Amino acid sequence: MTMLFISLGLGVAGLVALAVAGARVVGAARTLRREVDVAKARLEPGRAGSTGPRSTGQD
């Protein structure tokens, strides 16, 4: 019976560790997305809100 409790405790501890790591990854992805948006806005100031295809002017 003791081995059962030990194995369940270790399993729960492992799931908690995975949840914490997953939350950190999600947070880092959100931060990266914001940084990419800021960099894109700096590189393309006239197209900050546009997501359409780029016009080359040779139509």
Instruction: Tell me what pLDDT residue 44 has.
Output: 87
pTM comes to 0.61
- Indicate the helix (H) or strand (E) that contains 6: helix 2-43
Domain chopping of the chain, boundaries: 16-44
In the chain, the amino acid numbered 12 is V
* Calpha distance 25→17 (Å, rounded): 12
pLDDT for position 59: 52
Q: Averaged over 7-26, what is the pLDDT?
A: 98
Q: What is the pLDDT of residues 18-55, one digit of tens each?
A: 999 999 999 999 999 999 999 999 998 776 555 556 65
Q: Which whole-number Å values give the CA distances from 1 to 5, 19, 24, in the listed order?
A: 7, 27, 35
Structure tokens at 27: 């947070």
